[in-house]
Structure 1
Amino acid sequence: MLELSGINAFYGKAHVLSDLSFDMARGQVVALLGRNGAGKTTTMKSIMQLVRPRGGSVRFEGVDLVGLAPHKVAKLGLGYVPEERRIFTDLTVLENLEVGRQPRRQGTTFWTEDMLFDLFPNLAERRSNRGKALSGGEQQMLTIARTLMGNPSLVLLDEPSEGIAPVIVEQMARAILQLKSEGLTVLLSEQNLHFAKAVADEAVIIEHGTQKFAGTIADLDARPEVRDAYLSV
């Protein structure tokens, strides 16, 4: 469904991603793992064309995304949840969801407010609250819910467990597993290995923008030396 091949990305003269390659099948949850600054966010921005790769290809359902405008990438069925959340703080929860609404997309779940409130009960209780009244974890839930209103077939989640309370982290894990059961494909970037192992089928580890491991979670568990080398603090 998604294939990155030989991606190189730069910020000015700084070479951030070096020949990065991996792929995802439909319905998978894949965790992009690495320490802070490893290149995880840049990878997601390169997929969305917010950072334009210099060389290589990013193919989504057979379409090369390189060079497309980010809004055209989104219209193909990719949803991006940035680490910064970026909700509309002066709008209510319902109004934020309405901003993200897109027409029904063939072959994907058609998300409604009621379905999203079932997925994130905290938001149901606060549907009339303005975004600025929500906790950090609730803002993260709202960002994901707003993205789902676009009816994507693949969602990129950047650090979904970062900086939120443990009880919300558990709710987030259950929500991601529910998304998987709905047939959604998910790429999430994470530093929290425990969280990633709870939701992901496969993992890709990067260090300084270079792939160091790709395989199943069981494969990663069987190679503690890889975990210690690239994920330990």
Structure 2
Amino acid sequence: MLTVEGLHSYYGKAHILNGLSFGIARGEVVALLGRNGAGKSTTMKSVMQLVRPREGTVRFQDHDLVGQPAFRVAKYGIGYVPEDRRIFTDLTVMENLEVGRQPRRDDAPEWKMDQLFEIFPNLAERRTNRGKHLSGGEQQMLTIARTLMGNPVLLLLDEPSEGIAPVIVEQMARTIMTLKAQGLTVMISEQNLHFARAVADRAIIIESGEKKFDGSFAELEAHPEIRDAYLSV
């Protein structure tokens, strides 16, 4: 579904992604792992074309994404949940969800507001509350729900467990498993190995913008030296 080849991305003169390559198949949940600053968020922004790669290719289904505006990438069916959430704080929960609405796609599950309220009962209870009155975890849920209102084929989740309470982390894990059961393809960037192992089929480890490992969690557990070299604090 998604193929990234030889990706080089920069912030100014800072070389962040250094020839990164990987692929994601339909229906997979893939965890992009690495320490803070490894290039995980830049990878997602490069897929979305919020950061324009200087070299390499990004193909999503039949589309070449490099050079496309981010809104068109979203229209192709990629939903992006940024680490900093970016909800509309002066809009209610329901109004935030309406902002994200896009038409149904033939190759993706269709999400309606009532379904999302079943998945995120906290949001159902606060449906008329403004975004600024939600907790950090509830804002994270709202960002994911708003993105799902776009009926994406592929969902990119940037650090979904970062900075939220453990009980919400558990709910987030259940949510990702629900999305997978609905047939959605998901890529998450994470530093929390326990969380990633609970939800993902496969791990891709990057360090300094280069891929260091790509395989199952069983394979990663069989090579503790890789985990210690690239994931230990």
TM-score interval, smaller chain: over 0.9
**Partners in 1 of 2:15 and 2:128 — Cα distance?**
45
Helix, strand or coil at the partner of 2:105: coil
Helix, strand or coil at the partner of 2:55: coil
**Partners in 1 of 2:125 and 2:220 — Cα distance?**
39
Partner residue in 1 for 2:102: 102
**Partners in 2 of 1:6 and 1:55 — Cα distance?**
7
Give the residue type in structure 1 aligned to 2:62. G
Partner residue in 2 for 1:222: 222
Partner residue in 1 for 2:166: 166
Helix, strand or coil at the partner of 2:111: coil
- CA RMSD of superposed structures (Å): 0.6
**Partners in 1 of 2:114 and 2:88 — Cα distance?**
20
Partner residue in 2 for 1:42: 42
Give the residue type in structure 1 aligned to 2:144. I
Q: Give deviations 1:1-45, integer Å, cap 9, x for gaps.
A: 001000000111111000000000000000000000000000000
More divergent stretch after superposition (62-71 vs 160-169): 62-71
2:232 is equivalent to residue 232 of structure 1? yes
Q: Give deviations 1:63-97, integer Å, cap 9, x for gaps.
A: 11001000000000000000000001111100000
Partner residue in 1 for 2:187: 187
* TM-score (normalised: structure 1): 0.99
Q: Give 1:226 shift.
A: 0.5
More divergent stretch after superposition (5-14 vs 164-173): 5-14
**Partners in 1 of 2:54 and 2:183 — Cα distance?**
32
Partner residue in 2 for 1:3: 3
Q: Give deviations 1:141-178, integer Å, cap 9, x for gaps.
A: 00000000000000000000000000000000000000
Give the residue type in structure 1 aligned to 2:101. R
**Partners in 2 of 1:14 and 1:89 — Cα distance?**
33
> Mapping of 1:1-233 within 5 angstroms?
1-233=1-233
Give the residue type in structure 2 aligned to 1:150. G
Helix, strand or coil at the partner of 1:56: strand
* TM-score (normalised: structure 2): 0.99
* Long gaps (5+) in structure 2: none
**Partners in 2 of 1:173 and 1:10 — Cα distance?**
32
Helix, strand or coil at the partner of 1:145: helix
Q: Give 1:107 shift.
A: 1.8
Helix, strand or coil at the partner of 1:229: helix
| Consecutive aligned runs of 4 or more in structure 1 exceeding 2 Å deviation | none
Give the residue type in structure 2 aligned to 1:121. P
Helix, strand or coil at the partner of 1:86: coil
Q: Give 1:212 shift.
A: 0.5
Give the residue type in structure 2 aligned to 1:103. P
**Partners in 1 of 2:190 and 2:162 — Cα distance?**
8
Give the residue type in structure 1 aligned to 2:209. G
Q: Give 1:62 shift.
A: 2.7
**Partners in 2 of 1:22 and 1:67 — Cα distance?**
19
Helix, strand or coil at the partner of 1:10: strand
The size of the alignment, in residue pairs, is: 233
